[in-house]
Amino acid sequence: MKVKNISNPEEFLKVIDSCEGRVELITDDGDRLNLKSKLCQLVSLSTIFSSVAKIPEMEIVAHELEDSKKIMDYLMRG
């Protein structure tokens, strides 16, 4: 799923942390970063935030249906 305009990355990462299954960030190069890993969170978000104030767009893959629903619920409520 494409995720756009995340203005509160800390809250977004709390939602990711609450997911039961694997959640991955797909980079522009096609690499898959495990967003449940604190190291990957730090590396990926520090790279994204080096030039912008909010995350404009990224592709996320949640391997569990309930996790996808949880992420979508967060995105819908803002």
pLDDT tens figures, 19-64: 999 999 888 788 888 999 988 888 777 766 555 555 667 899 999 9
The H helix count followed by the E strand count for the chain is 3, 4
CA 69/CA 64 separation, integer angstroms: 9
CA 76/CA 52 separation, integer angstroms: 22
pLDDT band at residue 9 using 50, 70 and 90 as cut-offs: confident
If one compares 5 and 70, the residue with the highest pLDDT of the two is 70
CA 4/CA 39 separation, integer angstroms: 22
pLDDT at 17: 94
Q: Is the pLDDT of residue 70 over 90?
A: yes
